[in-house]
Chain A
Amino acid sequence: MKYVIIGNSTAAVGAIEGIRKIDSAGEIIVISKESYHVYSRPLISYLLYGKTDEERMKYRKDNFYKAMNCKTILGKKAVKIHHASKVVELDDNTHINYDKLLIATGSEPFIPPMEGLENVKQKFTFMSLDDAKNLEKALSPDSKVLIIGAGLIGLKCAEGIRKRVNNITVVDLADRILSSILDQEGANVVQSHLEKENINFILNTSVTKFLNNKALLSNGEEIDFDVLVLAVGVRPNVDLIKEINGKVNRGIVVDEFCQTSLFDIYAAGDCCESYDITTNQNRVLALLPNAYMMGECAGINMAGGEKTYDKAIPMNSIGFFGLHMVTAGNYDGEVYTQNEFGQYKKLFVKDGLLKGYIIVGNIEKAGIYTSLIRERTPLSDIDFELICSKPSLMAFSKIERKKKLGGAVHGY
């Protein structure tokens, strides 16, 4: 069996490890346009912050490909899939045949059209290791940095460069920061924490025009800057599948086995949509744990095993300057709040199930909440009042607790 994987990040690693659980002999080829050993992309902000380095950013050990008996083709881009003949074409015109193919192409920064952007000299995106290195070179203590986008990427970038520059302004069209994971109240808590670190925010506002080193904003303000970071959002890389008429919505559509609509082609990670069990809808969940689990599921199925991935939920754990927050699920439903001192917490309940939660501050044991969402545990089966006040296994019945704690745990 010959497996070809396009992409060399989290989903690819999940797939390699998944394949090797079933098939220790088959040939695995990993193709990536990036030349690096597999590294963790979310760590680029920690690299600039000084909390990690390129060596420690490696997502798996140096001997990973060798130990997994994988061949890598790095620095080359897959440009076309010849589906009928089961061949991948690379940008140097080489052709690689496959028996099973995995698309793990991830996503790329989305840059909306903005007038005058082409004349901005120092502009960057913030997704890859090369992005971080390029941004780092452009920074000096006197730099005035303008970040467009107050989401996870934009704010992680702000934190990462905070010690290197004195002037950071973040502009976002949304009415709050981190609008994909926080409600207004939670966002206010985090925003004031970031403002204490001298990060300035201009919300409900977009850039109408760039004039070289000046941004004209929709609220009439003008901002001078030296360095521009574009962190508006990301877009799944779906082209390889789209152009051979595989099913694509916002991301590549896959079934619970992570197979695309095309035979012998699987897809996993940020390039795909997942079925979000908290909203009962397909959506792109560009999250690292999701990418690993999809990749692993795809790998096991490609190798002839059987695995389903049917518990996808949005979930994030992130911190800024020592303030941590964890969030999961969706925020539609009845709200339960029981804050400890110094903690902001909301639980969202609908149809007798925990559907989502937000915690800012003390995040200990939050995974117990996450598992209530993932396992769709009826809240009538547990001591909901107790678990509202703090996540604990005490809230479960004695029998359920015995199941959880009394034996070997084989799966989830």
Chain B
Amino acid sequence: MKRVYVNEEWCLGCHLCEYYCAFANSNEKDMAKALKNVIIHPRIQLEEGDNINFAVSCRHCDDPLCVKGCITGALSINDGVITADTNKCIGCYTCILCCPYGAISPGEHGVIQKCELCTTNIKGSPHCVVGCPNSAIVFEER
């Protein structure tokens, strides 16, 4: 299955992936309109160090602890993509407790949010990849 991978040697730490993620998941057509005066809650998040940066998003594990741990059944695997049914989620954050990558975060309206490889927004394929100016983020089979 194709997944999003970040090459930390090439990552500039520019945070653009986060803005592209927030834009994609706003489902707005215009980026300025989507992000102007908005505090973004991206589903891909940069970790910054002294000499190294990399962005982390859901690994879409084959055997995911978050799905097994989900107390409501809101998290499920659909064609390999781990998706969250935010209508069922009640925001207990057990998935955040379980995820070894720190890739699930509290979202709006008291429920969780996570990367769904842009399969559930209007973009259709990972928009962080599109926005990366140094091609550090790729969407590929490994």
A324 within 8 A of B: yes
- Which residues from 79 to 99 on chain B have a C-beta closer than 8 Å to any C-beta of chain A? 87-88, 90-99
Partner of B72, one of A43, A363, A392, A412: A43
A3 within 8 A of B: no
Alpha-carbon distance between A324 and B97 when the two chains are bound, in angstroms? 11
Residues of B within 8 A of A391 (CB): 102
Whether the Cβ atoms of A405 and B96 lie closer than 8 Å is no
Question: Chain B 52-75, CB within 8 Å of chain A: the 1/0 string?
Answer: 101010011111010011011100
- Which residues from 25 to 80 on chain B have a C-beta closer than 8 Å to any C-beta of chain A? 47-49, 52, 54, 56, 59-63, 65, 68-69, 71-73
Q: How far is the CB of A253 from chain B (nearest CB, A)?
A: 23
Whether the Cβ atoms of B96 and A367 lie closer than 8 Å is yes
Whether the Cβ atoms of A324 and B98 lie closer than 8 Å is no
Q: Which residue of B lies closest to A10 (CB)?
A: B71
Question: Chain A 389-407, CB within 8 Å of chain B: the 1/0 string?
Answer: 0011110001001001111
A77 within 8 A of B: no
A40 within 8 A of B: yes
B: interface residue count bin: 35 or more
Partner of A367, one of B8, B100, B110: B100
A365 within 8 A of B: yes
Whether the Cβ atoms of A292 and B69 lie closer than 8 Å is yes
Whether the Cβ atoms of A56 and B54 lie closer than 8 Å is no
Whether the Cβ atoms of B5 and A409 lie closer than 8 Å is no
Alpha-carbon distance between A404 and B3 when the two chains are bound, in angstroms? 13
Alpha-carbon distance between A398 and B8 when the two chains are bound, in angstroms? 9
Question: Chain A 4-47, CB within 8 Å of chain B: the 1/0 string?
Answer: 00000000001000000000000000000000000010110010
- Which residues from 99 to 123 on chain B have a C-beta closer than 8 Å to any C-beta of chain A? 99-102, 104-106, 110
Q: Which of A93-101, A132-140, A312-320, A333-341 contacts B (4 or more CB under 8 A)?
A: A312-320
Residues of B within 8 A of A366 (CB): 96-97, 102
A-B residue pairs in contact (CB < 8 Å), sample of 17: A43-B90, A56-B72, A288-B71, A289-B71, A317-B93, A319-B93, A324-B93, A364-B96, A367-B97, A367-B102, A367-B104, A370-B98, A392-B47, A401-B54, A405-B5, A408-B1, A412-B61
Question: Chain B 1-34, CB within 8 Å of chain A: the 1/0 string?
Answer: 1010110100000000000000000000000000
Whether the Cβ atoms of A289 and B69 lie closer than 8 Å is yes
A328 within 8 A of B: yes
Q: How far is the CB of B111 from chain A (nearest CB, A)?
A: 10
Whether the Cβ atoms of A316 and B68 lie closer than 8 Å is no
Whether the Cβ atoms of A319 and B62 lie closer than 8 Å is no
Whether the Cβ atoms of A326 and B73 lie closer than 8 Å is no
Residues of B within 8 A of A57 (CB): 72
Residues of B within 8 A of A405 (CB): 5-6, 54, 56, 59, 101
Q: How far is the CB of A277 from chain B (nearest CB, A)?
A: 15
Question: Chain A 350-390, CB within 8 Å of chain B: the 1/0 string?
Answer: 00000000000001111110110011000000000000000
Q: How far is the CB of B137 from chain A (nearest CB, A)?
A: 11
Q: Which residue of A lies closest to B68 (CB)?
A: A292
| SS class, residues of chain B in contact with chain A | loop
A304 within 8 A of B: no
Partner of A14, one of B61, B68, B101: B68
Alpha-carbon distance between A375 and B52 when the two chains are bound, in angstroms? 25
Whether the Cβ atoms of A407 and B63 lie closer than 8 Å is no
Residues of A within 8 A of B104 (CB): 367
Alpha-carbon distance between A29 and B5 when the two chains are bound, in angstroms? 42
**Total chain A interface residues with beta-carbon distance under 8 A:** 50
Alpha-carbon distance between A40 and B71 when the two chains are bound, in angstroms? 7
Whether the Cβ atoms of B96 and A363 lie closer than 8 Å is yes
Given the interface contacts A40-B71, A43-B90, A289-B68, does A317 sit within 8 Å of B63 by beta carbon?
no
Q: Which of A363, A368, A409, A410 lies at the interface centre, i.e. has the most chain B CB atoms within 10 A of its CB?
A: A409
Partner of B97, one of A59, A328, A394, A398: A328
Alpha-carbon distance between A51 and B47 when the two chains are bound, in angstroms? 34
Q: How far is the CB of A348 from chain B (nearest CB, A)?
A: 16
Q: Which residue of B lies closest to A49 (CB)?
A: B90
A207 within 8 A of B: no
Whether the Cβ atoms of A409 and B62 lie closer than 8 Å is yes
Q: How far is the CB of A298 from chain B (nearest CB, A)?
A: 13
Alpha-carbon distance between A56 and B88 when the two chains are bound, in angstroms? 5
Residues of B within 8 A of A113 (CB): none
Whether the Cβ atoms of B61 and A370 lie closer than 8 Å is no
Residues of A within 8 A of B142 (CB): 406-408
Q: How far is the CB of B98 from chain A (nearest CB, A)?
A: 5
Given the interface contacts A59-B73, A409-B61, A410-B62, does A367 sit within 8 Å of B101 by beta carbon?
yes
Q: How far is the CB of B110 from chain A (nearest CB, A)?
A: 8
Whether the Cβ atoms of A411 and B90 lie closer than 8 Å is no
